[in-house]
Amino acid sequence: MIVTAQQMKAAEELAFQSGATPEGLMEIAGEGIARCIGQFFPYPATAVLYCGKGHNGGDGLIVAHLLKKIGWNIILRVASSASELAPLTRHQLDRLNQLEGVLVADTFPKISGPLLLLDGLLGIGFSGAPHGSIQELIIEMNALRRNSGGYTVAMDLPSGLDATTGEMPGECVHADLTVTLGAVKTGLVTDAATAVVGRLAVVELPGVLIESVDSASISTALSLRGLLPIRDYDSYKGTYGHIGILAGSSGFLGAARLCSAAAVHAGGGLVTLYALPDFHDLLASTCIPEVMVQRIASYSDIPINQLDVLALGPGLGPEHHEELRGLVRDCQIPCVVDAEALNAVANDPSLLSQCVAPRLLTPHPGEMERLFPCDGRTRRHWATDFTQKYPVTLLLKGARTIIAERGAPVIFNSTGNPGMGSGGMGDVLTGVCAALIGSGHSCREAAALGAWLCGRAAEISIFHGTESQESLSASSVITHLGAAFISLRKGDC
């Protein structure tokens, strides 16, 4: 659910009238934010809380209190004098100061080691451009993130961002993770806000009943895990589908290996990679042993009647566009359409209205532009206009991946990081989505699950593995898919 700031405030007021208290909601918010931080920082380090005078600062002080109790070093940078703090925020400050070793700093001290920057300066009630000490602290926070490798967590929204419109009339915190409270605010998913919001997580507020006229949603583990029940003990490989993959050509055989390996690690019961004679032997000797590599003389030789889903496009060449268009149009099983198959379709997009079975298209913005020019639309309207014209499911890749389908609410993906901006990530996503469709999910469900799982695997590779954003590879995402499935079932943020 996505709401305006006004709708969120109205929901909180109704909750207070029904017996909820500001103190109680503040405790729930702080505990939820701290839990999310633990997901990204499994070991204590140094946290600097930038605290404003309102309840957003109070949330941050509870987070700092919880982190301090498990071994974090806590530094406070308070924007206002204690007398100016809201009563609840002042109470939380006094409570935190009772713990030994909390440093209240007038200037930023020199520290070493991992650095977490907590943005608790402004909440959803603020509008306009920050000024005075708030503006100065935002500038300081952004400089520490940029120059000292600080990781910034915004509580509810990045300070300086309008919660409803996504506008930034002045200085704005650049967050790596925004943990929003109760529901996602409309401003957080605008195109302009993506760069300052970063990864998006939601902490639910029990008892706060929110009404919204916007049916769009954010994919979270809590919203998705019902789609992934524990497997029955008497199931077998046939239960989870036979996934066919048509991928790879001269110079691009890695795409076929990544796509097929991802399908295996995403739970495909059987995975068959179809290869033309020129590439069969090399793929057969280099794919993981769980992948069956089958020689075909032409794309028309794929035994569609033996498959539950077909993924086509990763690493294929442009010389077979006519055959690819025929497969996209006439294949009688669900298809995941990616890469060169999308380029083939772009020569005649009208065929998407003639497909005889479900189709999931997974373009990046360049491929989408060839299919359906943006013409100045927002990403959301670009995706929804496309699916209004063509009866397919669309997964529009990007920093905030969007899933759209005619007659269904838009889904914004929440997971991932900038390390995914490297070759092969789309091939992995195609394989994961195909495996999920093969196991019985609809195209829309597979797209939502696949995008979340791939993004979460990338996060785990960095925060619980040995990768950095620079070193992250598509192969590492495959390696951590199992951990991502576990994370989803746990209900991680």
Average pLDDT over every residue of 183-200: 97
Instruction: Assess whether pLDDT exceeds 90 at residue 107.
Output: no
Of the candidates 212, 243, 258, which is a domain's last residue? 212
Mean of the per-residue pLDDT values for the chain? 96
Predicted local distance difference test score (pLDDT) of residue 127: 92
Q: Are residues 320 and 446 in the same domain?
A: yes
Burial class for 106, CB neighbours closer than 10 Å (0-12, 13-18, 19+): exposed
Contacting residues for 468 by C-beta, under 8 A, at least 6 apart: 419, 462
Amino acid in the structure at residue 49: L
Q: Are residues 207 and 231 in the same domain?
A: no
Predicted local distance difference test score (pLDDT) of residue 49: 97
Domain of 450, in residue numbers? 226-490
CB-based contacts of 368-372 (< 8 A; 24+ apart in sequence): 368/396, 370/342, 370/343, 370/346, 371/342, 371/345, 371/346
Cα 299 from chain centroid (whole Å): 34
Predicted local distance difference test score (pLDDT) of residue 82: 81
Average pLDDT over every residue of 276-304: 96
Q: Are residues 207 and 281 in the same domain?
A: no
Q: What is the largest CA-CA distance in the chain?
A: 79
Q: Are residues 340 and 476 in the same domain?
A: yes
Residue 438 maps to a domain = yes
The secondary element (H helix, E strand) that includes residue 490 is: helix 481-490
Predicted local distance difference test score (pLDDT) of residue 102: 92
Q: Are residues 155 and 258 in the same domain?
A: no
pLDDT, tens only, 430-462? 999 999 999 999 999 999 999 999 999 999 999
Burial class for 468, CB neighbours closer than 10 Å (0-12, 13-18, 19+): exposed
Instruction: Assess whether pLDDT exceeds 80 at residue 109.
Output: no
Residue 163 maps to a domain = yes
Of the candidates 212, 235, 267, which is a domain's last residue? 212
Q: Are residues 473 and 423 in the same domain?
A: yes
pLDDT band at residue 265, thresholds of 50, 70 and 90? Answer: very high
Q: Are residues 207 and 234 in the same domain?
A: no
Q: Are residues 206 and 231 in the same domain?
A: no
pLDDT, tens only, 356-398? 999 999 999 999 999 999 999 999 999 999 999 999 999 999 9
Residue 482 maps to a domain = yes
pLDDT, tens only, 111-152? 878 899 999 999 999 999 999 999 999 999 999 999 999 999
Residue 287 maps to a domain = yes
Residue 140 maps to a domain = yes
For 400, which DSSP code?
Answer: T
Q: Are residues 112 and 254 in the same domain?
A: no
**For the chain, what is the domain count?**
2
Average pLDDT over every residue of 8-24: 94
Q: Are residues 383 and 482 in the same domain?
A: yes
Q: Are the C-beta atoms of 164 and 4 separated by less than 8 Å?
A: yes
Q: Give the CA radius of gyration of the chain.
A: 24
pTM of the predicted model, to two decimals? 0.97
Predicted local distance difference test score (pLDDT) of residue 137: 97
pLDDT, tens only, 35-93? 999 999 999 999 999 999 999 999 999 999 999 999 999 999 999 888 899 999 999 99
Residue 217 maps to a domain = no
Predicted local distance difference test score (pLDDT) of residue 224: 98
Instruction: Assess whether pLDDT exceeds 90 at residue 105.
Output: no
Predicted local distance difference test score (pLDDT) of residue 212: 80
For 196, which DSSP code?
Answer: H
CA 52 to CA 56: how far, in whole Å? 7
CATH of the domain at 434: 3.40.1190.20
Predicted local distance difference test score (pLDDT) of residue 232: 95
CATH of the domain at 183: 3.40.50.10260
Q: Are residues 187 and 250 in the same domain?
A: no
Q: Pick from 417, 388, 385, 386: which is nearest to 401 by CA?
A: 417
Contacting residues for 69 by C-beta, under 8 A, at least 6 apart: 99
Instruction: Assess whether pLDDT exceeds 90 at residue 354.
Output: yes
Q: Are residues 48 and 189 in the same domain?
A: yes
Residue 469 maps to a domain = yes
Residue 218 maps to a domain = no
